[in-house]
Amino acid sequence: MPCDEAAVRRLRVGDTVTLENWLFGIRDATQIAMFDRGRNIRLDLRGHAVIHTAPNVKRVPPSPEAPAGYAPLCIGTTTSMRMERFTEPLMRDHGVRLVIGKGGLGPASAEAFRRYGGAYLAVVGGAAALETTWITAIEDVDLDDLHPESLWKFRIRRFGPLLVAMDSHGGSLYATVGERVAARRAAALAALAALGAED
Partner 1 sequence: MQLDLAEIEEIAKLLYIRALKLLPDDVKEGFVRLQRTETDPTGRSLLATMVENIAVAERDDNLLCQDTGIPIYNITIGRGVSFDGAALKAAIRRGCERATREHPLRSSVVHPITRRNEHTSCGIRVPVLHIDFDDRPETVEIEMIPKGSGSENGSFLRMLVPADGVAAVKRFVIDRVIEAGGKVCPPTIVGVGIGGTSDLCMHLAKIAATRPLGSVCADPEGAALESELSRAVNMLGIGPQGLGGDSTAFAVHVETAATHITMNPVAVNIQCHSARRASATITPGGVTFGF
How many residues belong to the site for partner 1 (CB under 8 A)?
Answer: 53
Residue number, 52 or 117, with CB nearest to partner 1: 52
Q: Should residue 61 be labelled a site residue for partner 1 when binding is judged by CB under 8 A?
A: no
Angle between helices 107-116 and 87-94 (to 10 degrees): 20
Residue number, 116 or 153, with CB nearest to partner 1: 153
The answer for residues whose C-beta is within 8 angstroms of residue 96's C-beta and 6 or more apart is 45, 46, 48, 49, 50, 90, 118
Number of Cβ within a 10 Å radius of residue 30 = 27
Site string for partner 1, 41-60 (x = CB under 8 A): ------------xxxxxx--
Listed ranges 92-100, 135-143, 150-158, 172-180: which one lies at the site for partner 1 (CB under 8 A): 172-180
Of 9, 39, 114, 147, which one interacts with partner 1 (CB under 8 A)?
147
Instruction: State how far the Cα of 147 lies from the Cα of 79, in Å rounded to an integer.
Output: 18
Shortest spacing between CB 56 and partner 1, in angstroms: 4
Residue number, 6 or 191, with CB nearest to partner 1: 191
CB 56 within 8 A of CB 108: no
Q: Write out the binding residues for partner 1, residues 63-102 only, by CB under 8 A.
A: 73-79, 81-82, 102
- Among candidates 68, 53, 40, 50, which has minimal Cα distance to 3? 50
- Among candidates 1, 159, 158, 135, which has minimal Cα distance to 68? 135
Binding site for partner 1 (CB under 8 A): 29, 53-58, 73-79, 81-82, 102-104, 122, 124-130, 132-133, 147-148, 163, 165, 173-174, 176-178, 180-182, 184-185, 187-189, 191-195, 198-199
